[in-house]
Structure 1
Amino acid sequence: MQETSLIAPNKRRLVLLVLSAALLIASCTRANAPAKDLKAEIDEAAATLIEQPLLHSTSIGVVYRGEEIIVHRGDMQAGKPGPPTDATLYEIGSLSKTLAGSLMAKAVLERKLSLDDDVRKYLSEAYPNLQYEGEPVRIRHLLSHTSGLPNMLPELANTVLADFTDHRTPSRLNAIYANYGKADFLKDLHEVEIPRAPGKKYSYSSSGTELTAHILETVYKTDYESLLRDFLRDSAGMTDVGIRLSDAEASRLAVGYHSDNAAPTTPMPQLPWGASGNVKTTVPEMMKYLRFQLAGGPVVTQSHRTLVEFDSEFSIGYFWNIVSGDRLKGIYYAHHGGVPRSQCYIYIVPKYDLGIFVITNQSGDHTASAMEAAIDTVVERIAAREAALARQ
């Protein structure tokens, strides 16, 4: 999973659009702003996005003050007509971590565990290495990427990912994880060296999320994927979401491209638990997730709670990046997801009761910044609407 900084997104000039006559009638309110106009603007942002080099297609989903808008643009496979659809299953990469964070928030609220628990409490073997000068790695450190655990286990995967755009990267990852299971992960965990006091320094760790899944399995005595499916069904009404796909589901999985390789590449290999980057779902299902986040129930509120503040603009909750100081967006919650053939973003922007999900079926060095530009455009359009409506 490629890490993308959300601390200082690019700033772009705010463009105030002239609203149509339909928006100027006295009865117009924020709740009934014509969806067709905003959808056209989102579609325009999607069209601009796929004009970027190497991008084949995109899907953008928006929930704005209770209204849902989904647009699909481009062709999934180069030279072969066929846009993504509402039935397309996407790999959402590290957005999977926010789902794990929600499950952990639920466990904390149910008093199944505590944020300050030593992670070794939930491991069946002794791990004297999971501490630094007597300070143990705690659950809160996993959630805030301050544990000191490496990004990936086994360590070899980090070497491969260091040159992410190398055309050999997907096949090398496939080879590393071909027979790498939970027992292998727990064995390798014995060899980890914690380099500093936990809780101090941000260092992105997918292995920390995998360990989070193990802890959840331990306290609930159920496999992680079942926990996840049941939770998302019961809390958000999500039913077309999972980690391991059936043959029928696999046939709907989006084709994807790695870096500048013209040939489609293979899916992200299966990680031991899959909590850090293996979730697959559709855009309509992500709309349900956006609604769940915007509703702000107890689990969401807990998962958005600041665990570590790194500076005045960047904090982290239960795997959520919390960004403040943005004049246009206000305080917002976001996460990037990346696998070798797909990248995506999720933004939760309470200022506008707004949720945005954008995904492409290409993964390269410039994919994230192109998606950020599309997101900024959507937010600018919505901010312009809000400003015009406020003047009425």
Structure 2
Amino acid sequence: MHVILRVVRNRRWFDGVVLSAALLAAGCAAERAPATDLGADIDQVAATLVEQPLLHSASIGVVYRDREFIRHRGDMETGKPGPPSDATLYEIGSLSKTLAGTLMAHAVLERRVGLDDDVRMYLQGDYPNLQYKGEPIRIRHLLSHTGGLPNMLPERANTVLADFTDPRTPGELNAIYAGYGKADFFRDLHAVQIRQAPGKDYAYSSTGTELVAHVLETVYGSGYESLLRGFFRDSAAMTGLGIRLDDAQAARLAVGYHSDNPVPTTPMPQLPWGASGNVKATVPEMVKYLRFQLAGGPVVTESHRTLVQFDPEFSIGYFWNIVSGDRLKGVYYAHHGGVPRSQCYIYIIPKYDLGVFVITNQSGDQTARAMETAIDSLVERIAARENATGQGVSR
């Protein structure tokens, strides 16, 4: 689940925290001059990131022109030496949505689902409410956050999330979702009111992503987590993805901090399907995902296809935010993920054959901006190196 409010910024990019305009002061001079190798650059960026207030640790995975880099910095818990590692399982929040979008792109290419299908084709029972003046919510509307559905079901979760940094938020979310299953979701879905024509206005919706998971279960006759594991195992050699963890996996789950609370908080509660924000993965697994995205192929190409263009610089594909016109990055694909104790970003930047995944075990109103600045710093270093030498990098 993406539990953070959508950031509008100038072009309505990214769903995320309402951020301040503060920049990272340390390291700005270093951004202007390329270091000896990209590994050193990533070390510097990671070190600068964990120097930010409240940030305890950070992990960065990079794929650049077929080379892989992973760096971990900081300590997971205050006062307890112990950095994250390649074995650390992270909650990747709403990056989970891009995985669901990829699975739906695969289903569309296999002609199991049509983008213009009325979502009610895949629901049992009568849902006359899932339309506006005769125009139904279609599959493409779920994928592009234009269906007019609420962010979360049950609706009271949205009230809690309206003040995300309130110290009571994690506990209140846990109480809301304790025992909240698929039957509860469909009960609440019957009560949803669509107040605008689908397909026009962006309204971020984890509810829509959970519906996507249900559609996939219906057309494939298999549970969503099984579909997730099977597809990415076969297509990207990702063997460590999971939604529900066994005891051994749970022991490797990263601790994390909510806002300015000095005490670690609880994991994100389980949602009915988990497609909107319950996926867990290690950084090496996410590096495989970066490779999969950069390699292209029919499914990735379809998932990156624009479904709705909101303005000349911002579009959305199969849950991917598509940003155009950026002087430094060119056209790129990105998504933010956030839960009460973790935030992350993924960027796919074809201009440099570059993929970046950054995650930290703290979730507050400054966290996303700090990560964005770190990524911008890294891209600037890569651009400077390419402009200066036109050559690759060493590990």
TM-score in terms of structure 1 length: 0.93
Structure 1, unpaired ranges of 5+: 21-36
- Which residue of structure 2 lines up, in the alignment, with residue 40 of structure 1? 40
Q: Post-superposition, which runs of at least 4 consecutive aligned residues in structure 1 deviate over 6 A?
A: 8-14
Mapping of 1:141-180 within 5 angstroms? 141-180=141-180
1:310 is paired with a residue whose SS is strand
Q: In the aligned structure 2, how far is the partner of 1:208 from the partner of 1:365?
A: 25
- Give the corresponding residue for 1:17: 33
Structure 1 segment 199-214 matched on structure 2, within 5 A: 199-214=199-214
Partner of 1:127: 127
Q: Does 1:90 align with 2:103?
A: no
Alpha-carbon spacing, 1:59–1:110, altered in 2? closer, same or farther (3 Å): same
* Alpha-carbon distance change, 156 to 64 in structure 1, aligned in 2, over 3 angstroms: same
Residue 2 in 1 paired to residue 8 in 2?
A: no
Question: Which residue pairs with 1:242 in the alignment?
Answer: 242
- Identical-pair percentage: 76
For 1:28, the equivalent position in structure 2 comes to none
1:317–1:119 CA distance, 2 compared to 1 (3 A): same
**Partner SS for 2:94:** helix
Instruction: Tell me how far apart the structure 2 counterparts of residues 303 and 388 of structure 1 sit (CA, whole Å).
Output: 34
Structure 1 residue identity aligned to 2:73: R
Amino acid corresponding to residue 158 of structure 2 in structure 1: N
Alignment of 1:1-392 (within 5 A): 1-5=3-7, 7=11, 15-17=31-33, 20=36, 37-390=37-390
Please give the alpha-carbon distance, in whole angstroms, between the structure 2 residues aligned to 1:70 and 1:165. 30
- Which amino acid in the other structure matches residue 2 of structure 1? I
Measure the CA separation in 1 of the matches of 2:35 and 2:43.
Answer: 17
Q: Distance in 1 between matches of 2:255 and 2:35?
A: 38
One-letter amino acid of the structure 1 residue matched with residue 378 of structure 2:
V
Query: How many Å apart are 1:8 and its aligned residue?
Result: 6.8
Q: In structure 2, what residue type is equivalent to 1:275?
A: A
Structure-2 separation of matches of 1:222 and 1:391: 47
Per-residue deviation at 1:389? Answer: 2.1
Paired residue secondary structure (1:52): coil
In structure 2, C-alpha distance between the alignment counterparts of 1:341 and 1:211, rounded to whole Å: 25
Alpha-carbon distance in structure 1 between the residues aligned to 2:314 and 2:358:
22
User: Contact 2:385/2:391 (CA < 8 Å) preserved in 1?
Assistant: no
What is the CA-CA distance between 1:390 and the residue it aligns to?
Answer: 3.3
Q: Secondary structure at the match of 1:323?
A: strand
- Aligned partners of 2:137 and 2:147 also within 8 Å: yes
Kept after mapping to 1: 8 A contact 2:6/2:204: no
Question: Residues 107-134 of structure 1: CA distance to partner in whole angstroms, max 9, x if unpaired?
Answer: 0000001000000000011100000000
Alpha-carbon shift at residue 391 of structure 1 (Å): 9.2
1:55-98 superposed Cα distances (whole Å, 9 cap, x missing partner)? 00000010000000000000000010000000000000000000
Q: RMSD between aligned alpha carbons? A: 1.6
1:262-302 per-position Cα deviation (integer Å, ceiling 9, x unaligned) = 00000000000000000000000000000000000100000
Q: Distance in 2 between matches of 1:43 and 1:106?
A: 36
Asked if the contact 1:3–1:336 (Cα under 8 Å) also holds between the matched residues in 2, the reply is: no
CA distance in 2, matches of 1:110, 1:388: 45
On the 8 A contact 1:57/1:76 being kept in 2, the answer is yes
- Compared CA separation, residues 8 and 387, structure 1 to 2 (3 A): farther
Write the distance in 2 (CA, Å) between the matches of 1:362 and 1:391. Answer: 36
User: How many matched pairs?
Assistant: 376
CA contact 1:3–1:338 (8 Å) conserved in 2: no
Distance 1:122 1:18 in 2: 53
| Equivalent position amino acid for 1:17 in 2 | A
Query: 2-side partners of 1:125 and 1:379: how far apart?
Result: 50
- Contact kept in structure 1, 2:145 and 2:204, CA below 8 Å: yes
Q: For the Cα contact (< 8 Å) 1:4–1:368, is it kept in 2?
A: no
- Scaled by the length of structure 2, the TM-score of the pair is 0.93
Given residue 190 of structure 2, which amino acid in structure 1 is its aligned partner?
H
Counterpart for residue 31 of structure 1: none
